Amino acid sequence: MKSEHRHELAENDLSKLIGRARTAIEPHTNKILIGVLAVTVVAVGTIMMVRASGAARQEGFAQLAACKTAEDFEAVADEYSDLPAGVWARLRAAQEHLQEGIEYSLSDRAASNDRLEESRNAFRMVLDNGNAPSEAREKALYGLAMALESMAGDEEGIEKAINAYEALITEFPESRYKNWAEERIEILGSEEARDFYKWFHAQNPQPVERPNPFDTPNPFAGIDLPEEESETASESTDDGIPPPPPSAERINPAPTPPGAEGPALPSTPEETSDGVSESESEESASPEPEEGASKTPENDGADESDSDPSSSDPPSD
């Protein structure tokens, strides 16, 4: 009985508490609902933003991997400037410009200066970006120091390069570029290096115009080479029809084995182009005996017998 009584008392206390809470909440029901809805909207928006940011980050790195030139890296950096992909793209663009500027310094001074300025500006944009990771900042400080050293042509430029190397060592005392930076600071402080940079930047190399391959002189110019014409090409007709096969007279017959010769066949006269046979042409071509020419031996003998008086009978008395 006591347990049931205590249970009833607890239920009464709970119902009283719920009633009091309901009475206190009822005047503020609308405000509470609005607050719950606002919290829900904020939570949903945050989730969507996180998902969109993740998708954009993946897409940015995908485009970064497909870049090949400095212009490609700059396009990705402009599109994703607030994301890590944009920071790394800007850094890669600066490195590409730095490499091109150093290469052009020996052949085209104007192009070299343009590339080095673009490199310096891109490195500074990486350092000014608050979202840049520490590794990107380290590489940007190193690249900026190299760009300033490549552009140094006087005392002021050399001092700027030294300060950039010192800033790298100060911000990243355990940097992988520490030994290199300390060595460059020592070299740039020498008089030989200062004199060299002054002399080097006083030079003004210009690009050389190279002739096109078609401008190369012909080694066979002025030589009268013989013209070779194949027999097949000379015998072919103008219509492109191939010549007929060679005639039987042009083909060498196979040798006849001994003892296999048959009876000689009568030769047939071959006609010439004028329609006259070869035998007739030979007869017409042979000269006729002229008058007074020597006669055959038989006729000569007969003539001599008639003219010789000894051979004839003596005249009768």
pLDDT the model gives residue 244: 57
pLDDT the model gives residue 213: 62
State mean pLDDT over 170-199: 94
pLDDT the model gives residue 117: 96
pLDDT the model gives residue 58: 76
Are 98 and 144 within one domain? yes
State mean pLDDT over 54-58: 66
Q: How confident is the model at residue 39 (pLDDT cuts 50, 70, 90)?
A: confident
Range of the domain at 129: 68-202
Let me know if residue 301 belongs to a domain.
no
Judged by average pLDDT, the poorest of 111-125, 133-147, 269-283 is 269-283
| Domain count across the chain | 2
% of the chain with per-residue pLDDT over 70: 53
Residue of 68, 113, 122 lying closest to 95 (CA atoms):
122
For 69, other C-beta atoms within 10 Å of its C-beta total 11
Are 72 and 194 within one domain? yes
pTM of the model: 0.53
pLDDT the model gives residue 164: 96
Let me know if residue 145 belongs to a domain.
yes
Are 72 and 196 within one domain? yes
Are 76 and 185 within one domain? yes
pLDDT the model gives residue 191: 93
pLDDT greater than 90 at residue 314: no
Are 165 and 138 within one domain? yes
pLDDT greater than 80 at residue 220: no
Let me know if residue 75 belongs to a domain.
yes
Task: Give per-residue pLDDT as tens, 246-281.
Answer: 554 444 555 555 554 555 545 555 544 455 554 555
Mean pLDDT over all residues of the chain?
A: 74
Are 19 and 73 within one domain? no
Are 86 and 42 within one domain? no
Sign of the CA dihedral running 291, 297, 302, 303: positive
Q: DSSP states of 73-121 as a string?
A: HHHHHHHTTTSHHHHHHHHHHHHHHHHHHHHHTTT-HHHHHHHHHHHHH
pLDDT greater than 80 at residue 20: no
Are 196 and 89 within one domain? yes
pLDDT the model gives residue 316: 45
Let me know if residue 133 belongs to a domain.
yes
Are 111 and 136 within one domain? yes
pLDDT greater than 50 at residue 84: yes
Let me know if residue 82 belongs to a domain.
yes
Are 43 and 147 within one domain? no
Are 104 and 161 within one domain? yes
